[in-house]
Amino acid sequence: MERGYDIVLFGATGYTGALTAEYLAEHSPRELRWALAGRNVDKLEALRAELAEIDPDRPTPDLLSADVEDPASIRALAAAARVVISTVGPYAEYGEPMVAACAEEGTDYVDLCGEPAFVDRMYVKYHTIARQTGARLVHACGFDSIPYDLGVLFTVERLPEGVPLHVEGFVRAKGSASGGTLRSALGAFSDPFEMKTAARERKALEGEPEGRRVRIERGLPRTRLARGWTLPIPSLDPQVVVRSAAALERYGPDFGYGHYGAFRWLTSALGAAGGAAGVMAAAQVPSLRERLMSLRSPGEGPTEEQLAGGWFTVHFVGSGGGRRVHTLVSGGEPGYGATSGMLAESALCLWQDELPATSGQVTTAVAMGEALIERLPRAGVEFEVLRTFEE
Ligand SMILES: NC(=O)c1ccc[n+]([C@@H]2O[C@H](COP(=O)([O-])OP(=O)(O)OC[C@H]3O[C@@H](n4cnc5c(N)ncnc54)[C@H](OP(=O)(O)O)[C@@H]3O)[C@@H](O)[C@H]2O)c1
Q: Per-residue pLDDT tens for 25-34? A: 999 999 999 9
Residue 123 is assigned to a structural domain of this protein: yes
Which residues have any ligand 1 atom within 6 Å of their CB? 11, 13-17, 38-40, 43, 67-69, 87-91, 94, 112, 114, 142-144, 178-181, 184, 298-299, 301, 335-336, 339
Domain extent, residue 179, equals 146-334+380-390
Largest CA distance in the chain: 62
Same domain, yes or no, for 172 and 310?
yes
Same domain, yes or no, for 155 and 292?
yes
Same domain, yes or no, for 250 and 384?
yes
Residue 54 is assigned to a structural domain of this protein: yes
Same domain, yes or no, for 169 and 123?
no
**How many A from CA of 112 to the centre of ligand 1?**
9
Same domain, yes or no, for 138 and 224?
no
* Residue 286's pLDDT band (cuts 50, 70, 90): confident
Same domain, yes or no, for 253 and 363?
no
- Ligand 1: which residue has its CA nearest to atom 41? 14
Same domain, yes or no, for 192 and 306?
yes
Q: 61 with 32: CB under 8 angstroms?
A: no
**How many Å apart are CA 87 and CA 24, to the nearest integer?**
14
Note the Cα 389 to chain centre separation in Å.
Answer: 31
Residue 362: which CATH number? 3.40.50.720
HSE-up of residue 89 (Cα within 13 Å, Cβ side): 29
Ligand 1 atom at minimum distance from 334 CA: 3
Q: 70 with 99: CB under 8 angstroms?
A: no
Is residue 16's pLDDT more than 90? yes
Same domain, yes or no, for 25 and 48?
yes
Ligand 1 atom at minimum distance from 301 CA: 15
Q: 151 with 316: CB under 8 angstroms?
A: yes
Tally the domains of the chain: 2
Ligand 1 atom at minimum distance from 143 CA: 3
**How many Å apart are CA 156 and CA 75, to the nearest integer?**
39
Residue 217 is assigned to a structural domain of this protein: yes
Q: What type of residue is 370?
A: E
- DSSP-derived letter for residue 250 is G
Residue 63 is assigned to a structural domain of this protein: yes
**Residues 6 or more apart whose Cβ sits within 8 Å of residue 316:** 151, 152, 154, 155, 167, 168, 169, 170, 325, 326, 327, 328, 329
**How many A from CA of 17 to the centre of ligand 1?**
7
- Ligand 1: which residue has its CA nearest to atom 5? 335
Residue 83 is assigned to a structural domain of this protein: yes
**Pairing of β 323-332 and β 382-390:** antiparallel
- Ligand 1: which residue has its CA nearest to atom 31? 68
HEC readout, 265-328? CHHHHHHHHHHHHHHHHHHCCHHHHHHHHCCCCCCCCCCHHHHHHCEEEEEEEEEECCEEEEEE
- DSSP-derived letter for residue 337 is I
Ligand 1 atom at minimum distance from 142 CA: 3
Same domain, yes or no, for 136 and 262?
no
How many Cβ atoms sit within 10 Å of the Cβ of residue 322? 11
* Residue 145's pLDDT band (cuts 50, 70, 90): very high
Ligand 1 probe mutation, 15, 48, 88, 96, most atoms within 8 A of CB: 88
* Residue 346's pLDDT band (cuts 50, 70, 90): very high
**How many Å apart are CA 269 and CA 214, to the nearest integer?**
28
Residue 51 is assigned to a structural domain of this protein: yes
**How many A from CA of 33 to the centre of ligand 1?**
23
Same domain, yes or no, for 168 and 295?
yes
Same domain, yes or no, for 183 and 328?
yes
Q: What is the pLDDT of residue 310?
A: 96
Is residue 1's pLDDT more than 80? no
Ligand 1 atom at minimum distance from 18 CA: 16
Span 241-250, pLDDT tens digits: 999 999 999 9
Q: 12 with 36: CB under 8 angstroms?
A: yes
Ligand 1 probe mutation, 91, 178, 343, most atoms within 8 A of CB: 178
- Ligand 1: which residue has its CA nearest to atom 11? 89
Using CA atoms, how far residue 163 sits from 240, 249, 251, 316, in Å, is 21, 11, 8, 18
The lowest-confidence range among 18-22, 34-38, 182-186 is: 182-186
**How many Å apart are CA 312 and CA 232, to the nearest integer?**
17
**How many A from CA of 90 to the centre of ligand 1?**
6
Ligand 1 probe mutation, 20, 48, 65, 87, most atoms within 8 A of CB: 87
Span 182-195, pLDDT tens digits: 899 888 888 888 99
Q: 349 with 355: CB under 8 angstroms?
A: yes
Q: What type of residue is 316?
A: F
* Residue 272's pLDDT band (cuts 50, 70, 90): confident
Using CA atoms, how far residue 89 sits from 4, 80, 185, 304, in Å, is 25, 21, 10, 22
Ligand 1 atom at minimum distance from 298 CA: 20
Bridge partners (DSSP) of residue 230 are 262
Residue 375 is assigned to a structural domain of this protein: no
Q: 140 with 361: CB under 8 angstroms?
A: no
Using CA atoms, how far residue 178 sits from 141, 183, 370, 375, in Å, is 17, 9, 30, 26
- The candidate with the shortest Cα–Cα distance to 116, out of 236, 286, 242, 22, is 236
Same domain, yes or no, for 344 and 256?
no
* Residue 314's pLDDT band (cuts 50, 70, 90): very high
- CA angle 207-211-215, nearest 5°? 60
